[in-house]
Amino acid sequence: MASGIVDLAYVLPSGTARVEDLSRSSGLPADQIQRITVTPEWPVLAPGEQPWDLAIRAARTVLDRTGVAPASIGKVIYAGSGEWEPAFWSPAAKAADALDIRAAHCLEVVNFCNSASPALQLAADETALNRSEYVLVLLGDRLSQLVDHEDPESKALFNFADAAAAVLVGSRRSEFEILHTALRTDASWVDYYSADREDFVTLVRRRGRRSGLRQAYLKNLAELVDVTLGSLGRSRADVARLLINQTDRTMHEELLDDLGIARERSVFNYHRYAHQGPADTFIALADLKAEGRLDPGDLILLCTSGVGFSWGVTALEYRPHSD
């Protein structure tokens, strides 16, 4: 039984980060920071906002729009970095309680900004095997709060922003059939980033100066794209859209060039939102659908990545249904 995305939505926070503020706090020139962020300002959590609350709002939109009853949801998956507040706590269960989902299994998937791919794979397997009628996947992190904006050495992370998304997966009424997911980790990069606890605040730090991460990104994503296409009997020329985490625009462009996929077949949101963590690809997908920029039968690849370092590619086929 085929499984797919029934509907999806995202919510942006109400706060704003600005290059000029980061320049003052870090002592770095504003133009140097904007080469990383691309945009002069981007959405972040305001004081008192929580990513799981944004995810709940996105989920309500999806459930209201589809008319799916909470009792039909058999699993709630919350995916992201694991750095949620409070600690030692389940944002998936919090969301289920707020949404009146009473009989579902709630769990978290922690694979950092790559979390969307394994979460979607788990949801697809769950519904394809008829273990659940629907699975609700929620994504949301507080990435901007994990960066020391006073540390010039952390500048590569200054584009970290915040948002949340909700994705409803099911075997009926889906508009994006989930065709295949491929995942891998190059564990030799495991210690490249880790976090310190400083005065009860978690801050991510780069460890050492090892080179080659860019090449690892390009190699692993390109290979996973080919593995995915090969499993489907398709070619790179068949890809209608390739959507990727918005971490580095030049690397994004280089990957497209290496694959021979025109840049017009991707989405660049750096100038709007900076890097929205695991929600990046779903923000792009939701906008493409809302703007009518997809055609029936389009083959869409969602490419994700996260510290560890892990990569994932999920293939979707757009099959809009008529109401």
Q: Kindly state whether residue 121 falls inside one of the protein's structural domains.
A: yes
Structural tokens at position 29: 């020139």
C-beta separation of 13 from 43 below 8 A: yes
Q: Kindly state whether residue 270 falls inside one of the protein's structural domains.
A: yes
Q: Which residues pair with 303 in a beta bridge?
A: 244, 313
Smallest CA-to-CA distance from 3 within 165, 150, 179 is with 179
Q: Please state the φ and ψ torsions of residue 180, each to the nearest 5 degrees.
A: -170, 145
Q: Kindly state whether residue 305 falls inside one of the protein's structural domains.
A: yes
- Whether residue 56 sits in one domain with residue 140: yes
pLDDT at residue 299, as a whole number:
98
CA distance 230 to 236: 10
Smallest CA-to-CA distance from 236 within 267, 215, 219, 257 is with 257
Lowest mean per-residue pLDDT among 193-202, 210-219, 271-280: 193-202
| Over residues 290-318, mean pLDDT | 98
Smallest CA-to-CA distance from 66 within 169, 193, 157 is with 169
User: What are 264-291's pLDDT values in tens digits?
Assistant: 999 999 999 999 999 999 999 999 999 9
pLDDT at residue 321, as a whole number:
80
Q: Kindly state whether residue 186 falls inside one of the protein's structural domains.
A: yes
pLDDT at residue 209, as a whole number:
84
- Whether residue 152 sits in one domain with residue 29: yes
Q: Kindly state whether residue 19 falls inside one of the protein's structural domains.
A: yes
- Whether residue 86 sits in one domain with residue 40: yes
- Whether residue 166 sits in one domain with residue 40: yes
pLDDT at residue 297, as a whole number:
98
HSE at residue 30, side-chain half, CA atoms within 13 A, is 9
User: What are 78-129's pLDDT values in tens digits?
Assistant: 999 999 989 999 999 999 999 999 999 999 999 999 999 999 999 999 999 9
Does pLDDT of 228 surpass 60?
yes
| Over residues 144-158, mean pLDDT | 96
Angle, nearest 10°, between helix axes 249-259 and 213-232? 40
Lowest mean per-residue pLDDT among 27-31, 143-147, 205-209: 205-209
Please state, for a pLDDT cut of 70, what percent of the chain lies above it: 99
Element (H, E) at 290: helix 280-290
Structural tokens at position 268: 């660049």
- Whether residue 186 sits in one domain with residue 301: yes
- Whether residue 162 sits in one domain with residue 197: no
Lowest mean per-residue pLDDT among 170-184, 191-205, 259-273, 290-304: 191-205
- Whether residue 230 sits in one domain with residue 168: no
What is the domain extent for residue 97? 4-174
- Whether residue 282 sits in one domain with residue 187: yes
CA distance 268 to 185: 25
Dihedral sign computed on CA atoms, order 178, 184, 190, 192: negative
Length of the chain: 323
**Among candidate residues 155, 174, 193, the one where a domain is terminated:** 174
**Among candidate residues 159, 174, 189, the one where a domain is terminated:** 174
Start-to-end C-alpha separation, the chain: 21
Lowest mean per-residue pLDDT among 161-165, 209-213, 314-318: 209-213
- Whether residue 236 sits in one domain with residue 225: yes
pLDDT at residue 322, as a whole number:
61
Q: Kindly state whether residue 323 falls inside one of the protein's structural domains.
A: no
Average predicted confidence (pLDDT) for the chain: 96
**Among candidate residues 134, 153, 174, the one where a domain is terminated:** 174
Question: Which CA distances in Å does 178 have to 15, 51, 304?
Answer: 34, 26, 15
Does pLDDT of 152 surpass 90?
yes
User: What are 8-63's pLDDT values in tens digits?
Assistant: 999 999 999 999 999 999 999 999 999 999 999 999 999 999 999 999 999 999 99
User: Residue 312: which CATH number?
Assistant: 3.40.47.10
pTM for the complete prediction?
0.97
